[in-house]
Structure 1
Amino acid sequence: MTTQISIAVAALVRDGRVLLVHRRPSRRWYPNCWSLVGGHVESGESLHRAVSRECLEELGVHVHDPVPISLTIDDPTLDMHAFLVTRWEGEPVNAEPEEHDDLRWFRPNDLADLKMAHPESLPSIRGALQIATE
């Protein structure tokens, strides 16, 4: 049995839009597609710490109070943990240009037209947007 890779991702939401990053075409896994920001959980690291670290490394922001949300994916090799983030310090930038070649804010209606790393996650992302605007 293959050990799952633990991943922590964040749905940063502001003004009814979610921030997604575009993975470079040269990436080994999920190249040339959009995804939530995040990455591997390091050994001994809590999920909250991992998502906070990933947001700082990849976006240059300090997140506050990440809230766990459900995220559906179809990759059995990944143990995906998603968080809704509505408060952070700093303005998100592409702090990892070797990993991502773009980052943008998307409204719920824009998501269906994107090539996503995990298209099956779209209902979960839309749900996070709805929670954030309530």
Structure 2
Amino acid sequence: MGVAAAIRNSDGAYLLHLRDNIDGICWPGHWSFLGGQLEAGETPHKAITRELHEEAGLVLPDLRPLATVQQGNGRADIEVFTASWNGDAARIQVTEGIMLAWFHPRILPRLRVPPWCVEAIHLHQAAAQQAGVEDAGARHRRSPPPG
């Protein structure tokens, strides 16, 4: 199982990570959430906390589960967490990938973003709208497709 963080700022933009465009990694050359894989004995929460610190030096105490989404193509499911942060993405030195940047959801169709990431953003926005709040930690589980 993989883990990822849907980090949103107070302007409603999401923090996305430009992945290296090299063979052998998932979603090369795409804008995606920060995240990674669970290590032996880790819980998903512990894994995303570690990944955020390792990849971007971020410590986000308000991380909470949002959804489990499917990557497709036989890849592992991803447990997506959500958090808020209002920092300057351009000042973060990433240890993997190219860079971080903030994007509003309306820009997503212009970017190369994995479908699972777009799905998680839509789930996050729907939960926020349903709750009538700016940020949502409501938990969604996506059922596997029939058949």
TM-score band by shorter chain is 0.7 to 0.9
The one-letter code of the counterpart of 2:55 is E
Q: Using the TM superposition, give the Cα deviation of residue 43 of structure 1 relative to its aligned residue in structure 2, in angstroms.
A: 0.5
CA distance in 2, matches of 1:75, 1:68: 24
CA distance in 2, matches of 1:133, 1:72: 25
- The aligned counterpart of 1:74 is 72
Q: Alignment partner of 1:64: what SS?
A: coil
| Alpha-carbon displacement from aligned partner over 1:53-91 (angstroms, at most 9, x marks no partner) | 111111111111311112343243212110011259x76
- The aligned counterpart of 2:144 is none
**Structure 1 75/109 Cα, relative in aligned 2: closer, same or farther at 3 Å?**
same
Higher relative contact order (CA 8 A, sep 6+): 1
CA distance in 1, matches of 2:46, 2:23: 24
Unaligned runs of 5+ in 2: 136-147
CA contact (8 A) 2:32 2:117 kept: no
- The aligned counterpart of 2:119 is 123
Q: Alignment partner of 1:111: what SS?
A: helix
Percentage of matched positions with identical amino acids: 28
CA distance in 2, matches of 1:105, 1:39: 19
CA contact (8 A) 1:17 1:129 kept: no
- The aligned counterpart of 2:107 is 110
CA contact (8 A) 1:37 1:58 kept: yes
Normalised to the residue count of structure 2, the TM-score between the two structures is 0.74
Q: Which has the higher strand share?
A: 1
Kindly tell me the number of residue pairs found equivalent between the two proteins: 125
Q: Using the TM superposition, give the Cα deviation of residue 120 of structure 1 relative to its aligned residue in structure 2, in angstroms.
A: 4.2
| Alpha-carbon displacement from aligned partner over 1:100-128 (angstroms, at most 9, x marks no partner) | 11210010101111111x22431321332
The one-letter code of the counterpart of 1:8 is V
**Structure 1 129/100 Cα, relative in aligned 2: closer, same or farther at 3 Å?**
farther
- The aligned counterpart of 1:41 is 38
The one-letter code of the counterpart of 1:79 is D
CA distance in 1, matches of 2:16, 2:80: 13
